[in-house]
Structure 1
Amino acid sequence: MSETRRSEKATAVAAWEALFRAQVAVMRSLNADFPGDEISFNEYDVCFNLSTQPGRRCRMRDLTGHLLLTQPSVSRLVDRLLARGIVEKQPDPTDARGVIVALTPHGFDVYRQVAVQHAASIAQQVGAGLSDPELRTLTELCTKLRLAVGTTPGRRSTVRPVAADAATV
């Protein structure tokens, strides 16, 4: 391996370690400050991801692709949210084996209440160490990295639109 290649590899590893350590520190701080009276941090993540989808719904397998949890863990999490009326399950009209998870109106209200407090915490925690221009640069770099990793050969996008005739919330 050439000296240049070794140096590029070391730089990439150092960048990854810095990114990972920053993410762990921020997540620990946000988790400690999370307003979890109504929903947990992981339940919030489910609601957040559903809230960003058309009709506030998506296929269970697509939802799992957005979360850093295993499929069985996501299923249990969704079942807990279902029992509390925060989400509902609907049959997937394009796949008899598939399930669509939808945020209910009550679930969206709960999500919004928590999101307002959580966003303030994010602004305080993340904004404390970085200026606005640095935050914009960080956003651009993270987006660039995510897109580069997401388009690596052998990887596929996990999000497909839900059929228009699926039940809406």
Structure 2
Amino acid sequence: MDDVTWLDSDEHTAWVRLMAVLTLLPGALDTQLGRDSDLNHFEYFTLAMLSEAPGRRLRMSALAARTNATLPRLSRVVSRLETAGLVERSPCPEDGRATNATLTEAGWEKVVQAAPGHVRTARELVVDALEPEQVGQLAEIARRILTTLDPEQKMFATSD
């Protein structure tokens, strides 16, 4: 244990607060989306990423990168969304080994219905709690942490 550089008081406070945010924020987002839209946050995020893609379609690997998910996790969620009629999967015409996920019209309607409440919640819980310059600082802090967590920049949020 002699080779450990222990956290000083300020570092410890920052760490504990970050852990509290990481613990509480997902539940708060899931609660709002579940109540208002019958979705959890990851399901909503998956639909939102498809809604922003050209033709509302992405390869599953690209969708995994945009949602910061592993392919197995994404596949389970897309299966649920497919059962609900919100997403369709099909073979990728450019690469027979790949699969595309496409947002259905019902999926589009669901994300359009869910987005205002989600944005209000994101504002209430995070954005409005910060001064405008702190929003930029938060983005930079998150970028630096993501650079360490995702050095190969496989995740969409890591890329500039």
Normalising by structure 1, report the TM-score.
0.70
Counterpart code for 2:146: R
Distance 1:37 1:158, change over 3 A: closer
Q: Is the 8 A contact 2:32 2:117 kept in 1?
A: no
Q: Which has the higher helix share?
A: 2
Tell me what 2:98 maps to: 98
Given residue 26 of structure 2, which amino acid in structure 1 is its aligned partner?
Answer: M
Residues 32/99 of structure 1: CA separation in 2 closer, same or farther (3 Å cut): same
- Gap runs ≥5 in structure 2: none
Moved more, 93-102 or 116-125: 93-102
Identical pairs, percent: 26
RMSD: 3.2
Write out the 4+ residue segments of structure 1 that deviate beyond 4 Å after TM superposition.
13-17
TM-superposed deviation, 1:148: 5.5
Cα 1:81–1:148, aligned 2, differ >3 Å: closer, same or farther? same
Shift of 1:127: 3.4
Residues 38 and 32 of structure 1: is their aligned pair in 2 closer, same or farther, counting only changes over 3 Å? closer
Report the counterpart of residue 129 of structure 1 in structure 2: 129
| Amino acid in the other structure paired with 1:23 | L
- Does residue 1:27 correspond to 2:17, yes or no? no
Can you give the 5+ residue segments of structure 1 that lack an aligned partner in the other structure?
160-169
Name the residue aligned to 1:110: 110
Comparing 100-109 with 29-38, greater Cα deviation is found at: 29-38
What is the deviation of 1:114?
Answer: 0.3
How many residue pairs end up in the alignment? 153
Moved more, 64-73 or 119-128: 64-73
Q: Secondary structure at the match of 1:97?
A: strand
Question: Alpha-carbon deviations, 1:85-140, whole Å to 9, x = none?
Answer: 21111211232121010112321121011011110011111135322222222123
SS of residue in 1 equivalent to 2:97 = coil
Question: Which residue pairs with 1:87 in the alignment?
Answer: 87
Q: Greater RCO between the two (CA within 8 Å, min separation 6)?
A: 1
**Which amino acid in structure 1 is aligned with residue 132 of structure 2?**
D
Structure 2 CA distance for aligned equivalents of residues 59 and 124 of structure 1: 33
Instruction: State the Cα distance separating 1:63 from its structure 2 match.
Output: 2.0
- TM-score, structure 2 normalization: 0.74
For the Cα contact (< 8 Å) 1:38–1:110, is it kept in 2?
no
Partner SS for 2:89: strand
